[in-house]
């Protein structure tokens, strides 16, 4: 990766950090979380694609990299399908007040 | 350089590089799940106790967190520069960029430690001096999670700093073995950065607008 690309990525990351920190103070309600996570995703993609060189990697390496995140998504969705939609039997966490 | 000698089980340097990259990503996939479980737990807390969790998160130190994020992102850029110098066979330049990376990593850990001290002063440390009457049960839940997540992240960073400094020393002495490449250490370092990229908004940005 060229030096120019590295410092361009760095500038983009710094800009996104400033934007996400600033956006946290805008009164957007629960949309604040959506904005900050979207920006986090953009920053992570810059690091993954450029710094971690997934952009030019072999298909098998990309598949390995994607597998971890894809599996995590499955686990979070399954957890959420239970915990976030319970109406009758409360989860232990719901008993904390 | 790392490509100078190859392990006996490989036919070419390119094959060795592909195999070690694949192995590193297999390890990082397990790390995704490791930190992912913590992040899933956070979403559970946030969905079950939205108001109380946000109120607790407001006690974290936003300025220190934002500065630390900038420090870590810059360290990743230095790490990428080290890999760039390794490719160009500029041994000493690469070693210097590695030292810069490690110093920024140490700065991050230092700022984090200062933050922990501040939190101890404010009686926010569960099991040590948490002020339950003042911050509530959900506050304790949040800070238990906070110390687990940031603590595990800091441990990963300390491992990274050790690896980076070892590579810098060996590289400067031109004794970097074939099975320890700057590129592999860089993958690990950048990954620890990615984890922080997600922890930062969840910890420091929650509830700042209310």
Do A3 and A38 fall within a single domain? yes
pLDDT of B1 over the 50 cut: no
pLDDT category at B3 given cuts 50, 70, 90 is: very low
Question: Is any Cβ of chain A less than 8 angstroms from the Cβ of B12?
Answer: no
Do A6 and A45 fall within a single domain? yes
Question: Is any Cβ of chain B less than 8 angstroms from the Cβ of A34?
Answer: no
Question: How many Å lie between the alpha carbon of B120 and the closest alpha carbon of chain A?
Answer: 23
Do A48 and A6 fall within a single domain? yes
Question: Is any Cβ of chain B less than 8 angstroms from the Cβ of A14?
Answer: yes
Do A8 and A48 fall within a single domain? yes
pLDDT category at A30 given cuts 50, 70, 90 is: confident
Question: Is any Cβ of chain B less than 8 angstroms from the Cβ of A89?
Answer: no
Residue B5 or residue A13, greater confidence? A13
pLDDT category at A89 given cuts 50, 70, 90 is: low
Torsion sign across C-alpha atoms B5, B10, B14, B20: negative
Cβ-based contacts of B137 with chain A (< 8 Å): 96-97
Question: Is any Cβ of chain A less than 8 angstroms from the Cβ of B133?
Answer: no
Look at residue B7 in the predicted model and tell me its pLDDT.
80
Query: Which of B28, B52, B58, B80 is best to mutate for the A interface (most A CBs within 10 A)?
Result: B80
B192-204 burial code (b ≥16 CB/10 A, e <16): bbbbbbbbbbbbb
Quick count: other Cβ atoms within 10 Å of Cβ B24? 22
For chain B, percent of residues with pLDDT exceeding 70: 97
Do A11 and A38 fall within a single domain? yes
Do A76 and A37 fall within a single domain? no
pLDDT category at B101 given cuts 50, 70, 90 is: very high
Does domain B63-204 match CATH 1.20.120.80?
A: yes
B48 to A94: CB separation less than 8 angstroms, yes or no? yes
Do A77 and A38 fall within a single domain? no
Domain count across chain A: 2
Mean pLDDT of B161-188: 91
Mean pLDDT of B4-21: 84
Do A66 and A79 fall within a single domain? yes
Specify the long-range contacts of residues A17-22, CB closer than 8 Å, at least 24 apart: A17/A43, A17/B66, A17/B69, A17/B70, A17/B73, A20/B200, A20/B201, A20/B205, A21/B62, A21/B66, A21/B205
Question: How many Å lie between the alpha carbon of B117 and the closest alpha carbon of chain A?
Answer: 23
pLDDT tens-digit profile of B129-150?
999 999 999 999 999 999 999 9
Q: Residue A97: which of B45, B137, B208 has the nearest Cβ?
A: B137
Output the DSSP codes for A10-55.
HHHHHHHHHHHHHHTTS--TTHHHHHHHHHHHHHHHHIIIIIT-GG
**B3 contact partners, CB below 8 Å, separation of at least 6:** B13, B17, B181
Cα(B184)–Cα(B171) distance, rounded to whole angstroms?
14
Mean pLDDT of A75-86: 86
Do A1 and A42 fall within a single domain? yes
Task: Find which of A53-57, A91-95, B3-7, B111-115 is predicted with most confidence, using mean pLDDT.
Answer: B111-115
Mean pLDDT of B101-111: 98
Do A2 and A33 fall within a single domain? yes
pLDDT of B124 over the 90 cut: yes
Q: Which two tokens stand for residue B170?
A: 């060996």
Question: Is any Cβ of chain A less than 8 angstroms from the Cβ of B119?
Answer: no
pLDDT of A77 over the 80 cut: yes
pLDDT tens-digit profile of B28-42?
999 999 999 999 999
Burial class (CB within 10 angstroms; exposed 0-12, middle 13-18, buried 19+) of B69: buried
Q: What are the residue boundaries of the structural domains of chain B, listed by start?
A: 63-204
pLDDT of A24 over the 80 cut: yes
Do A38 and A67 fall within a single domain? no
Residue numbers of the domain that contains A4: 1-56
Burial class (CB within 10 angstroms; exposed 0-12, middle 13-18, buried 19+) of A15: exposed
In three-state secondary structure terms, B23 is helix
State chain B's mean pLDDT as an integer: 93
pLDDT tens-digit profile of B63-79?
999 999 999 999 999 99
Do A40 and A71 fall within a single domain? no
pLDDT category at B210 given cuts 50, 70, 90 is: confident
Cα(A73)–Cα(B142) distance, rounded to whole angstroms?
23
A18-46 burial code (b ≥16 CB/10 A, e <16): eebbebbeeeeeeebbebbeebbeebbeb
């Amino acid at each position: 990766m060229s030096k120019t690309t590295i410092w361009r990525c760095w500038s983009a990351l710094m800009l996104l950090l400033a934007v996400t920190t600033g956006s946290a103070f805008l009164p957007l309600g629960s949309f604040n979380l959506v904005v900050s996570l979207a920006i986090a995703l953009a920053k992570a993609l810059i690091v993954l694609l450029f710094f971690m060189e997934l952009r030019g990697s072999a298909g098998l390496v990309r598949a390995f990299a994607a597998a971890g995140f894809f599996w995590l998504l499955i686990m979070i969705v399954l957890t959420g399908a239970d915990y976030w939609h319970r109406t009758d039997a409360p989860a232990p966490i719901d008993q904390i007040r | 350089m790392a490509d100078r000698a190859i392990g006996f089980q490989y036919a070419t340097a390119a094959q060795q590089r592909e195999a070690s990259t694949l192995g590193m990503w297999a390890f990082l996939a397990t790390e995704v799940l490791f930190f992912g479980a913590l992040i899933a737990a956070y979403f559970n807390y946030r969905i079950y106790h939205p108001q109380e969790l946000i109120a607790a998160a407001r006690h974290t130190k936003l300025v220190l967190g934002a500065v630390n994020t900038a420090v870590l992102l810059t360290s990743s850029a230095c790490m990428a520069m080290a890999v760039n110098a390794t490719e160009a066979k500029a041994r000493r330049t690469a070693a210097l960029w590695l030292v810069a990376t490690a110093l920024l990593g140490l700065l991050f850990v230092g700022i984090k430690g200062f933050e922990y001290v501040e939190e101890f002063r404010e009686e926010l440390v569960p099991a040590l001096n948490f002020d339950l009457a003042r911050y509530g049960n959900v506050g304790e839940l949040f800070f238990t999670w906070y110390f687990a997540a940031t603590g595990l992240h800091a441990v990963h960073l300390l491992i990274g700093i050790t690896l980076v400094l070892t590579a810098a020393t060996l590289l400067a002495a031109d004794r970097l073995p074939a099975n320890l490449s700057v590129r592999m250490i860089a993958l690990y370092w950048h990954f620890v950065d990615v984890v922080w990229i997600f922890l930062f908004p969840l910890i420091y940005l929650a509830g700042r607008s209310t």
